[in-house]
Structure 1
């Protein structure tokens, strides 16, 4: 009932705001600079209760983060114009820009940042807590300096703060009704929400008080839920939408229909998540058999139109966290897969597994995995879980009910953050959670304690990747770049490794 009442509140308020905004000389200009974007709605509009890495693409419409990444994945100033660690690494201080404010008029100062992270630590339904567990307490040093006191060394934090973890929400709005923030964001980002209908759409107008407003050229952004992959191109051609991510198999069609297709390096990686707590995968030999049953080369050839790259870990091969020592591990070997199944007591055709799938992502992948498993004697059935903002998240990411599920990561701002999301005890993509390999967790602590510019940083990071891949049952498959199709009126897409941003994007 509470969710319904909040949803109703959002729709009613949207109607009031939309009516109030009708008319005026600026309408034609706003219409010309309007962009309609088809993308997944976030799991929550409140960064504290947002659950997935992909949420940053939409949460960042309404919120600005303390830092942000450039196209090379390097951390850059945002709300914070600078940051420094103490000599012993136990204190991290962010210097905020002056005269920042939220869209409700509340000043965005050190006290507001402190209040946001304290809420992330204490709010019962916070998904921020595990992301900031290395921070023992927060303090202010004047109106523009916020101080993190660390419980242990963590040199990843400036990168972590470039995503939803560092997307600061208004403390005034949270104090009034923090549940409303899940449906109506109050931030200091490039846009301000003016309409929201859950599971349908969210409309925004430009926020003139955004710290980088000079680089926002879109006056109105209309976010709509993803359509079926088979209809996305038609929606773009008709003008129903202007921007949408598409799968590799749709690139040729998009170009043939005179759409602009932009590809950019990404941290995307698809996988078959496996739950070691559910039979038959409580026998590690069965999980290992699945690793050898998968022909990644066939997946890439069949599904990615030459744009994908095989990977057996949660990073693409071009990324510095990718571990070259395990590059060729678990090469396709159906004979070995069959032998492992026999050792586990499963005769050919005697084992049936259920694979949970989301129909709006990984087009064609579940069926091809089903065929490859069948070649080694594993029968499987596919079960669709509705891809709305609650169903998949609740069943797969939170309850961890499936034995297997086809999914993927879009990466995170920090490589350690991504490794913990897929292998960590509270990782939403660790279907075996709360299990996490102890050696992996120890390696992660070593990476966190290593400055980014230290000579041993890359080696330690790759070792953590290796231990996670070796000791977790999930099967990584291939990576693909960002692939975005647009109508010709949209120019200069701004794609960084973990998200799509709107600074610099223009509309004709």
Structure 2
């Protein structure tokens, strides 16, 4: 089915849905660890990643991907997302009108927030209003698509939209869809969060959080452990040693220590979950920079990067060299484009000379965690060989993307954010939000607008996305490096429910993990 596109209203409005330091779209890890033994519902689940969450207030989240594991235990969303499909959560059903301008949801009854406040249609409407109007709200652009919310009864909400709402349900399954108790609005939600999720936050520090089971939760079987302790451990080896010595049950597993993790798994002392994601590690470029606005310069930068050397030397072969924006895990990937990956310093120098560029210096914001720092240093050395200087500044992982979006940097070494749908990838990284220089060309905008005429899931749309991938391969807007294999390492007594791990990022839903006896 075809429909008229309103691209910059509908796509950009939901572009923050899965954006973040580690965000990206893709399939969930297809396997689930099913360790023997019964679930120990009195157990403590101990987890660690490389970055602390930015806020316990979902309306002030500065990095959705980073905040997911910290916030999901506290907050149920209107919808959930697992096994590459939307699922009911606080909304039992949802229906998008044929004109895609009205989204109706039927809500779950008998749900209460942690403070005893009932969850109903008025609570949903209050959350949307707060998200639109709160000073500093980071979900306001998502909710800008929503003109008004009707509450015909306590169990029904109707979102009246000003654009195409096809992707809005995906946003409502992520941080923007997290429901806060309206009774908590006048307090400090960021420090004293009140949700309707399976766990309550009982304490937090600058790098850890402790949660305990909420006995009044509407689906008690979902709270698989009595307590969750979540830590930020930026050093990869320290994090690995903590799991190896039994101090952790689950850890984010970077490619840089994947071989060590495999050895642990071979000895039967741990288990690995991994999958190719839909996001690419690279260097985002600010095309407002006078010299970066020249396509020849951006092509030269891509030609000067030796992706194979980075993959083999830094990433233990776990980061697939990439030039196109969509990986093999995403709609829009064109395998034929992989043959265009080139490392050609001579051609890079020729293009720079043709563009009249000498002594180019790029102030570069670097996500200050592995592997972004190591990759940025490798690219820095390679670009120096063609006369380009990257001045690298490490920024804490939870803050780096928000700092980039202020627009004062020339480049940003990070994950080129992907969403569960390629339209979200394009909107976030190439048209708005992370594209601080704006769309690089009218041709790109026209191609994206053309793709939006086709229904999600249609062959025509997939073909249109491949055309976009081809355009961005030949006319790059960022320096593409490689598509990482994302992984997690768990103890042998960890039970993994399907959908627990997001293959496109170093994030996971702790409520889908349990400990066996």
* TM-score grouping bracket, smaller chain normalisation: 0.7 to 0.9
**Residue 69 (structure 2) aligns with:** 57
> d(CA) in 1 for partners of 2:352 and 2:376?
21
CA contact (8 A) 2:62 2:402 kept: no
**Residue 200 (structure 2) aligns with:** 192
CA contact (8 A) 2:77 2:174 kept: yes
**Residue 353 (structure 1) aligns with:** 362
Name the SS of the counterpart of 2:412 in structure 1. Answer: strand
How far is 1:248 from its partner?
1.1
- 1:495 pairs, out of 501, 504, 510, with 501
Larger deviation, residues 131-140 vs 109-118: 131-140
**Residue 277 (structure 1) aligns with:** 288
Name the SS of the counterpart of 1:94 in structure 2. Answer: strand
Using a 3 Å threshold, how does the CA distance of structure 1 residues 298 and 443 change in structure 2: closer, same or farther?
Answer: same
The correspondence of residues 12-411 of structure 1 with structure 2, limited to 5 A, is 32-54=43-65, 55-71=67-83, 73-174=84-185, 176-177=186-187, 180-197=188-205, 199-257=206-264, 258-323=269-334, 326-329=337-340, 331-347=342-358, 350-362=359-371, 364-387=374-397, 389-390=398-399, 392-397=400-405, 399-409=406-416, 411=418
Q: Which has the higher contact order (CA 8 A, sep 6+)?
A: 2
CA contact (8 A) 1:264 1:495 kept: no
CA contact (8 A) 2:50 2:235 kept: no
Using a 3 Å threshold, how does the CA distance of structure 1 residues 372 and 269 change in structure 2: closer, same or farther?
Answer: same
CA contact (8 A) 2:149 2:160 kept: yes
How far is 1:469 from its partner?
6.2
CA contact (8 A) 2:270 2:491 kept: yes
> d(CA) in 2 for partners of 1:123 and 1:287?
38
Q: Give the aligned length.
A: 467
Name the SS of the counterpart of 1:500 in structure 2. Answer: coil
> d(CA) in 2 for partners of 1:468 and 1:133?
28
> d(CA) in 2 for partners of 1:209 and 1:440?
50
CA contact (8 A) 1:267 1:409 kept: no
C-alpha RMSD of the superposition: 2.7
**Residue 484 (structure 2) aligns with:** 480
> d(CA) in 1 for partners of 2:328 and 2:48?
30
Using a 3 Å threshold, how does the CA distance of structure 1 residues 344 and 91 change in structure 2: closer, same or farther?
Answer: same
> d(CA) in 2 for partners of 1:134 and 1:461?
23
> d(CA) in 1 for partners of 2:142 and 2:450?
17
Give the unaligned 5+ runs of structure 1: 1-28
How far is 1:504 from its partner?
4.2
**Residue 456 (structure 2) aligns with:** 452
> d(CA) in 1 for partners of 2:452 and 2:78?
19
> d(CA) in 1 for partners of 2:138 and 2:379?
32
**Residue 430 (structure 1) aligns with:** 435
Name the SS of the counterpart of 2:87 in structure 1. Answer: strand
How far is 1:32 from its partner?
3.1
> d(CA) in 2 for partners of 1:163 and 1:93?
18
How far is 1:464 from its partner?
4.9
